[in-house]
Structure 1
Amino acid sequence: MSRTPMALLSPADQERLRGLRRMKAVALGALILMAALFVVAFWLRDQHPWLEYVRAAAEGGMVGALADWFAVTALFRRPLGLPIPHTAIIPNRKDEIGRTLGEFVETNFLSGDVVRAKLSTAAVSRRFGEWLREPAHAERVAAEASTVASAVLRALSDDDVQDLIADLAREHLVEPDWAPSAGGWLQRIVEADAHRGAVDLAVDSIAGWLDANAHTFSGLVSRRLPGWVPKLAHRFVDETVYHEAVRFVAAVQADPQHPARLALDGYLGRLAEGLQHDPAVRDRFEGAKSALFDSPRVIALAAQAWETAKTGMLNALADPQSGLRRRAASALSEIGERLASEPALQARVDGWVTDAAVFLVDRYRHDIASIITDTVEKWDAAETTEKIELMVGRDLQYIRLNGTVVGAMAGLAIFAVAHALIPGI
């Protein structure tokens, strides 16, 4: 009988306990009935000889009931508390039972052939696709994935992420020597005249700025003239400088072979050559690159970028109506539709799932089965006995009841045969 208070048991265990108690009462009632029949038959056998048959049946029923009571009780505890060998089997051999159960599961269930045979007929991808293509299910998966992703983002330390970004940037951006590669790219750009578009854009931008900012030339040069120069000359000098700048830029715009353009081409070509072959130029370039990445402003900008990205991701993941969540749910629904309707895709996915499951089972079957062994070993012997008795004890009480009936029939049959074959009995 369970020693755990009824209130501490789960509803399912409470129902099992009530069923176990009922069956124990029935089995005990059958034994008491056999004992009462035996007493009555033994007492009245001289007046009614036919009661010998009843006595024999009752005697056999009592023997069968007691024998099966002993057998069932010996599984869980010592009958009547007596130290009889090979009793209290479950509490005494709990660890061995756990190991045997683990070996049984490992051998008969955690087998690559068993898993492959089961999954080959399960149509996993098609069933999953039919379930996933429903918009409500796709939204549910997207919501669960968003919850997990949000938890991961919140668990990440901002300092650790920034340090990781800095380490990755230093490993892949700062430490590698960019100069030869940059020089090679620049050389190919110049040789292909691919830089002309950028030059045109720069010249056009300068022309537009000059057109909109003529006032900035007021005093640009004239303030540096001697004080005795008339004010009229100051204005003339500033306007002359402005108009010359405008004419120069216009000339550069109009002439693809303008000396300024050719000078820029020559400079870019020399820069490309220096980046590839001149150690001094390469050192200056790498120094400028390192100074840029190590700049406090760049570091602060990277930290701010991470904070902004993290906040944006968390907000998008938390909002069911965000574009991210809607696109994720739509993509999942489309994946489900394809899995449900494309046999070729189903075959590939089923193959991947089966191969992955077989690999995991073959590689970790012992570790998986050891969960059973280790769990049973950690259980208290009395607790283990209670758990098992609640699960199977009710069915075992039928053994006692059946033993009573079979014993009675056997006793009656033996007495009847003996009475028929041996005179005087």
Structure 2
Amino acid sequence: MPPTPLALLSPADQERRRGLRIMKGVALGALLFMAVLFVIAFALQERIPALAYVRAAAEGGMVGALADWFAVTALFRHPLGIPIPHTAIIPRRKDEIGRTLGEFVETNFLEGSVVRTKLDSAHIAARAGEWLRDPQHAERVGVEAATMAAGILRALSDDEVQELIADLAREHLIAPEWGPALGGWLSRVVDADAHRGAVDLAVDSIAVWLRHNREAFSGLMSRRLPSWVPSIALRLIDDTVYNEAVKFIDAVQADPRHPARLAVDGYLARLADNLQHDPATIRRLEDAKSAVFDSPRVRELAAEAWNTAKVGLLRALDDPDSALRRRIAEALAEIGARLATDAALQRRVDRRVADAAVFLVERYRHDIASIITDTVERWDAAETTEKIELMVGRDLQYIRLNGTIVGALAGLAIFSVAHALLR
């Protein structure tokens, strides 16, 4: 495959390609140098015997250079385009390499103890607290949070939200029977005399109303009497009714055991018992509840409440000077200050973060590692080969250069030993 055009490569890849070409030139230059040296030494070794050592070194250097050139080239392509077995390893076994890499990461990195050890040494809570306690950082996080929340609110469908609210209300509010629960609650209130305050408030409110609304009793009874009754008698009757009402309320206020109070206690106790055990009372309460929640007006009010809340939230989230935005930034800064100074809180947060990370890793480690495998499988074989070669090819050229040098030294050593022993 022809190399990727330079314009399509990133600046980093362009720099890697230039470095790779330079090192290829150096390795090739070393091979050519050994070849020239071999030719000269081979031609003159009869007249200058010492050049036999040079010839042996050059010969070993050429062998080493060619062997390492073949080995390095075989990783990425067929040498000289010849489909020799076990060459072009990376493009031919790309998918297997991806699977092996994924298994390696899953086995050695996505392991609970490894993740926990790393997180325990990272001191995440303290670092996050130090960063977040800075008002500017807290403001930045608040801005991002507000932007995200506003985006979510705008993306929500009003009809779908209203349907969701209706479904949740129907499931958790309307469907369960209210009678037994309300009856049990009311029974406990009555047994604990917790309703006394409400009764006192009602009696006191009636007493205040009576003192300030005497004219409301004018004609209350007199209008129902015959017209021939004298007017003075009519006024006397109305005054008597008012005074008796005031006396009755005063008596109820003064006497904790007044019959009216006991009657209220008895009524509430019976109501609590009926709500728990009387099917007719329970059914009437359920019917009333259904009638209220099924009312179109109630649905309209729910929709208006959601729309009003949504508009208000969006306005507050979009306004940098809103009380909500300021409170978010202040709360984040306070959290940061606590995280930075409270060692016990730091330990709790670090432990919970580590527990969550370990849980996710152990539960989804295979799925996480499969990202590597799936990604490598989707890569084009030729493009993958070029990418890998750009990443490691420059270092591999040093292998060729080292092979030339080591081969020369080995050739020289072998020839020297053989010449010394066989001479």
* TM-score, normalised via structure 2 length: 0.84
The range that moved more, 279-288 or 65-74, is 279-288
Corresponding residue number in structure 2 for 1:197:
200
Corresponding residue number in structure 2 for 1:325:
325
* Structure 2 contact 220–238 (Cα < 8 Å) conserved: no
Distance apart, 1:411 and its partner CA? 2.0
Corresponding residue number in structure 2 for 1:336:
336
* Structure 2 contact 106–369 (Cα < 8 Å) conserved: yes
Distance apart, 1:15 and its partner CA? 1.1
CA distance in 1, matches of 2:412, 2:384: 40
The range that moved more, 248-257 or 66-75, is 248-257
Q: 1:88 to 1:190 in 2, by over 3 A?
A: closer
Distance apart, 1:91 and its partner CA? 0.8
CA distance in 2, matches of 1:373, 1:200: 77
CA distance in 1, matches of 2:246, 2:127: 70
CA distance in 1, matches of 2:401, 2:371: 36
* Structure 2 contact 129–340 (Cα < 8 Å) conserved: yes
Q: 1:273 to 1:64 in 2, by over 3 A?
A: closer
Distance apart, 1:199 and its partner CA? 1.6
Show CA shifts across 1:375-410 (max 9, x none).
112211111111110110000001111111112222
CA distance in 2, matches of 1:355, 1:114: 12
Alignment of 1:58-77 (within 5 A): 58-77=58-77
RMSD: 3.5
- Structure 2 unaligned blocks of 5 or more: none
The range that moved more, 305-314 or 82-91, is 305-314
Alignment of 1:124-139 (within 5 A): 124-139=124-139
Alignment of 1:5-404 (within 5 A): 5-186=5-186, 192=193, 193-200=196-203, 202-203=205-206, 206-207=209-210, 210=213, 250=246, 254-256=250-252, 271-272=271-272, 274-404=274-404
* Structure 1 contact 178–286 (Cα < 8 Å) conserved: yes
* Structure 1 contact 252–260 (Cα < 8 Å) conserved: no
The range that moved more, 101-110 or 37-46, is 37-46
Distance apart, 1:367 and its partner CA? 2.0
* Structure 2 contact 132–332 (Cα < 8 Å) conserved: yes
Q: Give the letter for the 1:10 counterpart.
A: S
CA distance in 2, matches of 1:374, 1:74: 25
The range that moved more, 197-206 or 75-84, is 197-206
Distance apart, 1:208 and its partner CA? 8.5
Q: 1:411 to 1:280 in 2, by over 3 A?
A: closer
Overall identity of the aligned pairs, in %: 67
* Structure 1 contact 203–249 (Cα < 8 Å) conserved: no
CA distance in 1, matches of 2:358, 2:46: 74
Q: Give the letter for the 2:319 counterpart.
A: D
* Structure 2 contact 115–357 (Cα < 8 Å) conserved: yes
* Structure 2 contact 73–79 (Cα < 8 Å) conserved: yes
Q: 1:140 to 1:241 in 2, by over 3 A?
A: farther
Q: 1:92 to 1:184 in 2, by over 3 A?
A: closer
Q: 1:249 to 1:55 in 2, by over 3 A?
A: farther
Q: Give the letter for the 2:377 counterpart.
A: E
Q: 1:225 to 1:253 in 2, by over 3 A?
A: closer
Q: 1:250 to 1:88 in 2, by over 3 A?
A: same
* Structure 2 contact 146–317 (Cα < 8 Å) conserved: yes
Show CA shifts across 1:91-146 (max 9, x none).
11111111211222122212222223222322222222222222222222222222
CA distance in 2, matches of 1:2, 1:332: 55
Distance apart, 1:413 and its partner CA? 2.4
Distance apart, 1:366 and its partner CA? 2.0
Distance apart, 1:40 and its partner CA? 2.5
The range that moved more, 189-198 or 135-144, is 189-198
The range that moved more, 254-263 or 332-341, is 254-263
Distance apart, 1:296 and its partner CA? 0.8
Show CA shifts across 1:154-192 (max 9, x none).
232222221121122222222222234434555665673
Secondary structure of 2:122's match?
Answer: coil
Show CA shifts across 1:27-47 (max 9, x none).
111112222222233333344
- Structure 1 unaligned blocks of 5 or more: none
The range that moved more, 114-123 or 186-195, is 186-195
* TM-score, normalised via structure 1 length: 0.84
Secondary structure of 2:197's match?
Answer: coil
* Structure 2 contact 30–401 (Cα < 8 Å) conserved: yes
Q: 1:277 to 1:121 in 2, by over 3 A?
A: closer
CA distance in 2, matches of 1:131, 1:159: 41
Distance apart, 1:147 and its partner CA? 2.6
Secondary structure of 1:194's match?
Answer: helix
Q: 1:261 to 1:407 in 2, by over 3 A?
A: closer
CA distance in 2, matches of 1:243, 1:194: 30
Distance apart, 1:299 and its partner CA? 0.7
The range that moved more, 284-293 or 111-120, is 111-120
Distance apart, 1:418 and its partner CA? 2.9
Q: 1:109 to 1:185 in 2, by over 3 A?
A: closer
Distance apart, 1:303 and its partner CA? 0.9
Distance apart, 1:361 and its partner CA? 2.2
CA distance in 2, matches of 1:241, 1:30: 131
CA distance in 2, matches of 1:137, 1:208: 61
Q: Give the letter for the 1:199 counterpart.
A: A
* Structure 2 contact 222–237 (Cα < 8 Å) conserved: no
Q: Give the letter for the 1:93 counterpart.
A: R
Corresponding residue number in structure 2 for 1:419:
419
Q: 1:241 to 1:155 in 2, by over 3 A?
A: farther
CA distance in 1, matches of 2:74, 2:211: 101
